[in-house]
Amino acid sequence: MEIHEIIKYIDEHLQEDISLVELGKLAGYSPWHMYKLIKFYTGEPLASYIRKRRLLLAAQDIKGNSNLLDVAMNYGYETAAGFYKAFMKQFNCSPSDFKRSISNFHISNTFAEVTKIIYENGVIEMGKVIVRKLQNEDAVSLREYIFVQNTLSEVEERVSQSLKNMEKGDNIYVVAVVDDNIVGTLGLNRENHPIVRHRASLADEVVNPAFSDMGIPNLLFSKALEFAKTLGIKIITGSSRANYFSERFFGENKFIEIGRIPNGFIESWNNNETYDEILYYYQI
């Protein structure tokens, strides 16, 4: 599959989840090679390219008088607020302002054109994922690739609070970095009461969809365990939706299931879709 065919495939499937693993299989490349290839031709990582392409098409749908909430849902935004923030950042106007005063706005495709060049297979290589503790300067990348429905100030406050808690030994927060871009996060929140101070719960286990099925959650958990041992943490608890992709993480990392809560999760933004909640623990 040539690069122009890959880009065409992405554009034709923008309303679906697209991963580097999937694209790599289609093109005959490893996910890491595909990451570099997409970035080289488009000028940005896959996740950023997809998000901007979705917003461009969403703007076109708004121009066609589609319902704003329907447009947001069609392009992967679970809430109107998340869509509003992303639209404002990309086009410097709100979706409603754009719809009301459409003649005053010019939407241009600012994405890099796909340039046809000659390259040798294997020249574009991918470095290893770096997993490390959270740093203060990570806020911008977290906003861009992980917490896309939050404002930068919200993410900065979140990072600041996490760093303060880490200094006190109250939590552990690690990130996965590829080419200086944060593509995954995982936190461990330590219990405060003295009799359960040896326990911590999983939090913010998030991987950018473009990097799914590449083992990044396991790398994050492995690094978090190293830090957990230094704090004297002995037990880690967590939960997941039943029949959901996150079940795989708990199985691969040898968590033990300890029970289920029927209809423990209800997604109000998704027609009140319900899931049983599975409870797990891991003993260090």
pLDDT single digits (tens) 69-117: 788 888 777 777 778 888 887 777 788 777 776 544 444 444 444 333 3
Residue 158 has a pLDDT of 94
- Packing angle of the helix pair 46-63, 3-12 (nearest 10 deg): 50
Does 123 fall in a domain?
A: no
Query: Are 136 and 250 in the same domain?
Result: yes
Query: Are 65 and 144 in the same domain?
Result: no
Residue 58 has a pLDDT of 84
Residue 206: both structure tokens together:
């998030």
- Show Cβ contacts of residue 6 under 8 Å, excluding neighbours closer than 6 positions: 23, 26, 27, 34, 37, 38
Does 118 fall in a domain?
A: no
213-to-218, 221, 254 alpha-carbon distances in Å = 10, 15, 18
Q: What is the CATH number of the domain that holds 224?
A: 3.40.630.30
Residue 56 has a pLDDT of 83
Between CA 175 and CA 130 the distance in angstroms is 8
Closest CA to 245 of 282, 222, 213, 204: 213
CB 236 within 8 Å of CB 249: no
Does 112 fall in a domain?
A: no
Cα 105 vs. chain centroid, distance in angstroms? 30
Residue 230: both structure tokens together:
């230094």
Residue 128: both structure tokens together:
């290893």
Does 111 fall in a domain?
A: no
Residues written for the chain: 284
Query: Are 40 and 89 in the same domain?
Result: yes
Query: Are 94 and 146 in the same domain?
Result: no
Query: Are 189 and 245 in the same domain?
Result: yes
Does 279 fall in a domain?
A: yes
Domain's final residue, options 44, 69, 104 = 104
Q: Flag residues of the chain having pLDDT under 70.
A: 1, 65, 101-127
Query: Are 77 and 182 in the same domain?
Result: no
Query: Are 99 and 201 in the same domain?
Result: no
Full domain range(s) for residue 239: 130-283
The one-character DSSP state at 129 is P
Query: Are 69 and 172 in the same domain?
Result: no
Query: Are 81 and 165 in the same domain?
Result: no
Residue 220 has a pLDDT of 95
Does 161 fall in a domain?
A: yes
Query: Are 90 and 175 in the same domain?
Result: no
Domain count across the chain? 2
Query: Are 97 and 160 in the same domain?
Result: no
Residue 221: CA count within 13 A, CB half-sphere: 23
Does 166 fall in a domain?
A: yes
Query: Are 165 and 261 in the same domain?
Result: yes
Domain's final residue, options 69, 104, 139 = 104
CA-only gyration radius of the chain, Å = 21
Between CA 27 and CA 34 the distance in angstroms is 8
Does 56 fall in a domain?
A: yes
Residue 102 has a pLDDT of 52
Q: What is the CATH number of the domain that holds 32?
A: 1.10.10.60
